[in-house]
Amino acid sequence: MSVHDFTVKKKNGEEICLREYKDKVLLIVNTASKCGFTSQYAELEKLYKQYQERGLVILGFPSNQFASQEPGTDEEIQNFCQVNYGVTFPILAKSEVRGANAQPLYKYLVEQQGFAGLEFLGEKLSGFLKSNLPEFLVGDEVKWNFTKFLIDKQGKVIKRYESMVNPLDIAPDIEKLL
């Protein structure tokens, strides 16, 4: 099994099989428009522009599961990303990325690359989760917005990067896979 075996929904509701991205390097990111990490859209777009022609595809998966920081409709999310950050990489349909109703792709991603530990969340986010959402710290599920998964050309999940990791810091790992 690989990431290429999954189907996800585009913002217009159409389904797309990730097999379409065979022979591409993927960076899969759960996103939100009203998060302290929202400015990462700018670095994600910069990565996309830098490596798109060499085979990088970034897929944004908006989710409202983290303190309701993505309340908009799919159309509102798309407009926000384009107007505020010039996003040209695909932003897919809003979906759940953790819990019983998480889309199957995300269940697979966290099975392949589990949570590495609190030290990778940063002090501020770890403290917030401990105080307000301690259940989010249990298990391997996505802990917060802008968790990133790097996928190789064969659809294998190579690495997980927690919210605190700036997208541009992932560039050396992307280079190795292109």
CATH number at residue 125: 3.40.30.10
pLDDT at 113: 95
CA triplet 59, 100, 26: central angle to 5 degrees?
Answer: 15
Which of 16, 34, 35, 166 is labelled catalytic?
35
pLDDT at 119: 79
At 5-37, the pLDDT tens digits run 999 999 888 999 999 999 999 999 999 999 999
Kindly state whether residue 137 falls inside one of the protein's structural domains. yes
Kindly state whether residue 18 falls inside one of the protein's structural domains. no
- For residue 39, name the pLDDT band (cuts at 50, 70, 90): very high
For residue 116, pLDDT beyond 90: no
Measured CA to CA, the distance from residue 144 to residue 125 in angstroms comes to: 9
Q: How many CB atoms lie within 10 A of CB 63?
A: 23
The more confident residue out of 41 and 126 is 41
Kindly state whether residue 80 falls inside one of the protein's structural domains. yes
Kindly state whether residue 19 falls inside one of the protein's structural domains. no
Measured CA to CA, the distance from residue 78 to residue 87 in angstroms comes to: 8
User: Can 35 be counted among the known catalytic residues?
Assistant: yes
Total domains in the fold of the chain: 1
Amino acid at residue number 67: A
Kindly state whether residue 123 falls inside one of the protein's structural domains. yes
Global pTM reads 0.96
- Domain span at residue 122? 3-12+28-177
Kindly state whether residue 67 falls inside one of the protein's structural domains. yes
